[in-house]
Amino acid sequence: MKRFSFSTLMLWAGLLFIYLPMIILVIYSFNASKLVTVWGGWSVKWYVGLLDNTQLMNSVGRSLEIALYTAIAAVALGTLAAFVLTRIPRFRGRTMFGGMVTAPLVMPEVITGLSLLLLFVAMAQLIGWPQERGIVTIWIAHTTFCSAYVAIVVSARLRELDLSIEEAAMDLGARPWKVFILITIPMIAPSLAAGGMMSFALSLDDLVLASFVSGPGSTTLPMEVFSAVRLGVKPEINAVASLILLTVSLFTFFAWFFSRQAEERRKRAIQQAMETMAEEAASSNWKPASTQAA
């Protein structure tokens, strides 16, 4: 194959298109000049100013809290959904279940946000809960759409798994839940971690859903940034934006790094087990059927 085919060229151009704006943003966040378009030398003063902005810092704390709860709940819910989709072939309402799991991926956020808010308002009237919209309602909204992402990631892994290990455990008398906790969970752990990090990032990022289902006094970071951005480009926002970019990049990198390490450990363990078996076979008189025949 040619080294520089059309598709390779497009790939590099595309990556440049994706990353250049972000790099420019980060560079300009170090601009000393108050005018965002004029370069006035390097400075970190916009970053220093952020720390004194209590309103902003409060929203950062709130967003992190919601993201943490969301990640935990979405992993639990998404894994259950993935398990149902890949391991339980037949039950009443299966088609509907499959639809409900994947639909949040594509549903326009304004529709999801509006409908959830109207649900919360109706619930408040009917059963008196939630009295106030805030962290809990945002958490519910985020968990609902993040679990769809987790379900996709985890079900891909569940499909790849060797069922014979689970079946062996079952034959040896383990109860289904014990098999799930002792065997299935450790084997899908890297995708659980990836799904959790993904949910964390998605929740931290969401503006539209949070705007609909939040109440007074529960502004999240994206909502704070959005109201500032609407007024135009400012160096302080460049600094906030760069910090968010940095955080998420680090997160993604670690998610990738750890899942790769886990994968390598797994491969090494399998290889080691094979080698031990081969050694044992060689030292004893036992020989595999194929070599005996030869």
Question: Where does residue 43 rank: exposed (0-12), middle (13-18), buried (19+ CB within 10 A)?
Answer: middle
The least distance separating another protein from the CB of residue 204, rounded to whole angstroms, comes to 8
Cα–Cα distance, 13 to 17 (Å, whole number)? 6
Given 56, 146, 210, 244, the residue binding another protein (CB under 8 A):
244
The least distance separating another protein from the CB of residue 69, rounded to whole angstroms, comes to 14
Given 16, 48, 88, 163, the residue binding another protein (CB under 8 A):
88
The reply to whether 134 sits near another protein by the rule CB under 8 A is: no
Tokens for 5, please give them: 């085919």
ω into 130 cis (within 30 of 0): yes
User: Which position has the token pair 């951005």?
Assistant: 229
Q: Which of residues 206-225 bind another protein (CB under 8 A)?
A: 207-208, 211-212, 222, 225
Tokens for 146, please give them: 């993040």
Q: Which of residues 245-284 bind another protein (CB under 8 A)?
A: 245, 248-249, 251-253, 256, 260
List phi, psi (to 5°) of 90: -135, 125
Are the beta carbons of 203 and 71 closer than 8 angstroms? Answer: yes
Q: Which of residues 8-47 bind another protein (CB under 8 A)?
A: 8, 10-11, 14-15, 17-19, 21-22, 24-25, 28, 36-37
Tokens for 208, please give them: 């539209």
> Contact letters (x/-) for another protein, 187-206, by CB under 8 A?
----------xx--xx-xx-
Given 50, 64, 187, 241, the residue binding another protein (CB under 8 A):
241
The least distance separating another protein from the CB of residue 171, rounded to whole angstroms, comes to 18
The reply to whether 101 sits near another protein by the rule CB under 8 A is: yes
Cα–Cα distance, 277 to 264 (Å, whole number)? 20
Number of residues that bind another protein (CB under 8 A): 95
The least distance separating another protein from the CB of residue 252, rounded to whole angstroms, comes to 5
Q: Which of residues 110-129 bind another protein (CB under 8 A)?
A: 110-112, 114-116, 118-119, 121-122, 125
List 31's β-bridge partners, or say none.
42
The least distance separating another protein from the CB of residue 52, rounded to whole angstroms, comes to 22
The reply to whether 107 sits near another protein by the rule CB under 8 A is: yes
Cα–Cα distance, 59 to 241 (Å, whole number)? 14
The reply to whether 64 sits near another protein by the rule CB under 8 A is: no
Number of H helices, E strands in the chain: 13, 0
The least distance separating another protein from the CB of residue 237, rounded to whole angstroms, comes to 7
Task: Transcribe 23-42 into DSSP letters.
Answer: HHHHHHTTB-SSSTTS---B
The CA–CA distances, whole Å, from 82 to 13, 87, 89, 149 equal 36, 8, 12, 10
**Choices 47-55, 164-172, 236-244, 281-289; region in contact with another protein by CB under 8 A:** 236-244
> In the complex with another protein, which residue's Cβ is closer, 103 or 277?
103
Given 49, 61, 176, 288, the residue binding another protein (CB under 8 A):
176
Are the beta carbons of 72 and 270 closer than 8 angstroms? Answer: no
